[in-house]
């Protein structure tokens, strides 16, 4: 996995966790859902890159 993409996907997952936590703390369900969606996007991106790497090696 290229370092740049790994950092991007990890940051996206972290951003999602932060949004979810912020949403929970203020009781904003929409922000919680948005945070979970960001986490899923980041996780899927990481999984896709790992699959690419597995095929290359």
pLDDT-above-90 percentage for the chain: 70
The arithmetic mean of pLDDT across residues 25-30, rounded, is 97
Average pLDDT over residues 12-41: 96
pLDDT of 29 > 60? The answer is: yes
User: Where are the domains positioned within the chain?
Assistant: 3-56
* CB 34 within 8 Å of CB 18: no
Maximal C-alpha separation, the chain: 46
Contacting residues for 57 by C-beta, under 8 A, at least 6 apart: none
Mean pLDDT of 11-24: 96
């Amino acid at each position: 996995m290229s370092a740049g993409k790994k950092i991007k996907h990890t940051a996206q997952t972290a951003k999602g966790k932060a949004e979810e936590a912020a949403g929970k703390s203020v009781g904003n369900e929409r922000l919680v859902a948005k945070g979970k969606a960001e986490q899923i996007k980041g996780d899927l991106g990481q999984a896709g890159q790992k699959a690419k790497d597995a095929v290359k090696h």
